[in-house]
Amino acid sequence: MDAPVAEADVIFVDFPIWWYVAPHIINSFLTAHDFSGKTIVLFATSGGSDFGRTQDELEDSVYGTTHLMEGQILNGKQGKEELVEYVNSLAL
């Protein structure tokens, strides 16, 4: 079984870009849990937009000791190997 959030040091959060940022349910998810000291990597799909202000708009939903970082926009076909290579390149 996958480790519960409390046991994870790094969490990958993926969502569609809505109106240039993450849907509000992502803010709600982040405020509903204590991610202090953890790293959250953002992934998204979109109709063409980049992350823009997405990360900034999520910062108020986490404690200051949570490290939020942009991952990738995953539009188009993404091979598992490319994704694994990318995640490994983050050296988390």
Asked whether position 72 contacts ligand FMN by CB under 6 A, the answer is no
Q: Which member of 11, 13, 14, 18 binds ligand FMN (CB under 6 A)?
A: 18
Among 5, 10, 20, 65, contact with ligand FMN (rule: CB under 6 A): 20
Residue 46 CB: number of other CB atoms within 10 A? 17
- Cα(68)–Cα(83) distance, rounded to whole angstroms? 19
The first and second tokens of residue 85, run together, are 């290579």
Cβ neighbours around 30 below 10 Å, total: 22
| Least Å from the CB of residue 23 to ligand FMN | 8
Which residues would be at the binding site for ligand FMN (CB under 6 A)?
Answer: 16-20, 45-49
